[in-house]
Chains A and B, each alone.
Chain A
Amino acid sequence: DAGVIQSPRHEVTEMGQEVTLRCKPISGHDYLFWYRQTMMRGLELLIYFNNNVPIDDSGMPEDRFSAKMPNASFSTLKIQPSEPRDSAVYFCASSLSGSSSYEQYFGPGTRLTVT
């Protein structure tokens, strides 16, 4: 079975440009999470969805960040405009509701570099 798929794997962009990161969760999973990982702050939860509805976006840094989940198999995280301090690895993870719903499965990540 395919795991969580993220694209692109690497993104290099200039400050001020719009960046869109994409995620396809594991088929059938109804929770989707976006994380950011940096050396300084570790793994931070940005936002998570349940059944395509945003549940908690309190981790989103500021208005420049937005996330959508138009359907059960696709989510995007958009940064507009991007800044150098947004450079990090962004992970998407998914889980299945039920007794094991805390078990999150991560994608390979998107390494974002903003110059």
Chain B
Amino acid sequence: GQQLNQSPQSMFIQEGEDVSMNCTSSSIFNTWLWYKQDPGEGPVLLIALYKAGELTSNGRLTAQFGITRKDSFLNISASIPSDVGIYFCAGSSGSARQLTFGSGTQLTVLP
């Protein structure tokens, strides 16, 4: 089946720093989404991308749909303590509604 490689697995950064994480796939995706999961909660949708090359922002978060359709990036600017959590990429190809999820990036923001 389809697999997403998400990196890095974990990140430790200082408050105020910018963060970048990415997802790559061996196959083409038509849709990329980014989610954040806090402990004990379900994933929360952050950004959805539908077109190759698309760059979309949501506050301090910016995500891009790679031109090759095989990758996506998420950037967080000026990190704050509440950015702590696990960030997941997810993708979909074809007309099916299933999402394939990456393994997640655990983000820790140090004061």
Chain A: residues with CB nearer than 8 A to chain B? Answer: 4, 31, 33, 42-43, 45, 48, 50, 55-56, 91, 93, 95, 99-109
> For residue B100, which residue of chain A has the nearest CB?
A45
**Is B48 in contact with A103, judged by CB distance below 8 angstroms?**
yes
Which B residues are in CB contact (< 8 Å) with A99? 50
**Is A43 in contact with B96, judged by CB distance below 8 angstroms?**
no
> For residue B31, which residue of chain A has the nearest CB?
A102
- Complex Cα distance, B33 from A89, in Å, reads 21
A-B contact count (CB 8 A): 51
Binds A, one of B19-27, B36-44, B68-76: B36-44
**A48-B98, A95-B97 in contact; A103/B45 too (CB < 8 A)?**
yes
- Complex Cα distance, B104 from A7, in Å, reads 25
Chain B: residues with CB nearer than 8 A to chain A? Answer: 31, 33, 35, 40-45, 48, 50, 88, 92, 96-99, 101-104
**Is B97 in contact with A31, judged by CB distance below 8 angstroms?**
yes
- Complex Cα distance, B44 from A4, in Å, reads 11
**Is A42 in contact with B101, judged by CB distance below 8 angstroms?**
yes
**A45-B98, A48-B98, A50-B97 in contact; A102/B41 too (CB < 8 A)?**
no
**Is A101 in contact with B88, judged by CB distance below 8 angstroms?**
no
Which A residues are in CB contact (< 8 Å) with B97? 31, 33, 48, 50, 55, 95, 101-102
> For residue A45, which residue of chain B has the nearest CB?
B98
23 contacts between A and B (CB under 8 A): A4-B42, A42-B101, A42-B102, A42-B103, A42-B104, A43-B88, A43-B101, A45-B98, A45-B99, A91-B42, A99-B50, A101-B97, A102-B92, A102-B97, A103-B45, A104-B33, A106-B35, A106-B43, A106-B44, A107-B42, A108-B40, A109-B41, A109-B42
